[in-house]
Amino acid sequence: MLDKNTKIYVAGHRGLVGSAIWNNLWQRGYHNLIGRSHAELDLTCQADVRKFFDEERPEAVVLAAAFVGGIMANSLYRADFIMKNMQIQCNVIEEAYKHGVQRLLFLGSTCIYPKNAPQPMKEDCLLTSPLEYTNEEYAIAKIAGLKMCESYNLQYGTNYIAVMPTNLYGPNDNFHLENSHVMPAMMRKIYLSKLMATGQWEMIRKDLTIRPVGANIREDGKVVRYVIDGNSDEATIIKVLAFYGIEANRVTLWGTGRPLREFLWSEDMADASVHILLNVNFSDIIGIEKYSQVHYGVAADGTVDRNHSTGRGGAIPSLGEIRNCHINVGTGKELTIRELAELVVRTVGFEGDLRFDSTKPDGTMRKLIDVSKLHSLGWTHKVEIEDGVQRLFDWYKQSLEK
C-alpha cells in the first residue's frame, strides 16, 4: 500500500480512463497527484519527458496516455498508431526507471490477443497466433509495453504491472465520429439521427460546436475535406453526417452486427487499476518463491540469499520461462454489436431505422477475456452494461448543456 503522500503521476489524466483513475485516487485520499495535458507535455518527445521527470520526481506512475481509436482510425493512421504509442511507452517507462520509480501501472488493451484466440481469452494466449489486421499496429505497440514492464521487473526488481482492459466506456469518453470507439460513436450517431428527424437543429449545432466533425468525401473524382461545426450551413452538415451513416431517422453502422464484445465502465476500470497499483506486486503474479530466486539468487544449499540481488531473473534457465504477467481487466460478460445497438436505441428513445453495412469490416468476431486472475487478486466489476449505457447517455446529454 502506498503512503497517502506518495507523489503519483497520472499520464493521460484528462482521458477516459486517466480521469477516472485520478478521481479514484483522490477519493481514496491520494492528493499528491501530477497531471499534464498534451499541450503541456508531449509524451512522444524524449527530451520533454526527461525534463518533466527531472523536475517533478514522481514516486509512482500510471501510464494511461495513448493514441487510440476504432476500426476506421486504425485503418487510416496505421503508422501513427504504432509509432506514437511506442514513443509514449518507451519514454515514460524508461524515464520512470531512470528516476527511481519502483511502482508503475501500464494500461494496454485486449486487442493484444490473437484474432482466433480461444474464448474466453486467458493471459497465456498472448503471441500464440496472428493478430487482427485492423488493429495490428496498436496491438503490437501495447504488447511491447507490457513486455517492457515484465522485462524491467525481471532485470531490475521493479513493480511495473501491466493491465489489459476490455472495451471501455464512461464519463469523458471520446465521441469523435472518426476516431472514437464503438459505443460512444454509435450513441452519438443514433442521437444525432433522432435530433435530425425531430428538427432539433439547435441541439445538433450545440453538439457540433463541442465536437466538430471532419470527413474526406470523394466528389467528381477528387477527395474534398469537409469540417463541420455549429456554424456550418445545414446542407453541408447533412452531407458530412450522411458520410458517417447518419440521416434523419436512419442510422447505418459498420459491419454485420454479429461480433461479440465485452464492455467495462471506465470508473470500474479505474477502481480495478488503483486496487492493483496499491495492492498487487509482481511477486503476487509470478509467485513469491520464484520472485525471490529471480532477484536474490539461490545458494548451493537451496536457501535464498536476500543480501545480494542478482537483478538477472531473465538469465536463470532453471526458473523456466516467466511471461504473460499482465492482468486482464473486464467483466467476463459479452453481447453482440447488434444487441448493443438495440440497447442504445432504447436508451436514446430512437424510433427510426437501424441498419448494418455488411460490406464494411467487422473486426475481430469475438473478444471475451478470462478474468480469473483479476478475481484471484481481489477485484470484481460493479456496473452492468444496461446501467452503464444509461449513465453514458446521461453524461453525453449533460455535456451538451455546458
Supply the residues annotated as catalytic: 138
Q: What is the CA radius of gyration of the chain?
A: 23
Residue type, 212: P
Q: Which residues of 332-359 are buried (b: 16+ CB within 10 A; e: fewer)?
A: bebebbbebbebbbebbebebebebeee
**φ, ψ for residue 105 (rounded to 5)?**
-115, 120
Taking the C-alpha atoms of residue 172 and residue 135, their distance in angstroms, rounded to an integer, is 23
DSSP state of 377: T
Among candidate residues 401, 20, 347, the one with its CA nearest the CA of residue 173: 20
Q: Which residue spans within 179-307 are E strands per DSSP?
A: 213-219, 222-228, 246-247, 250-254, 260-261, 263-265
**φ, ψ for residue 296 (rounded to 5)?**
-120, -15
Residues 6+ apart with CB under 8 A from 185: 70, 175, 176, 177
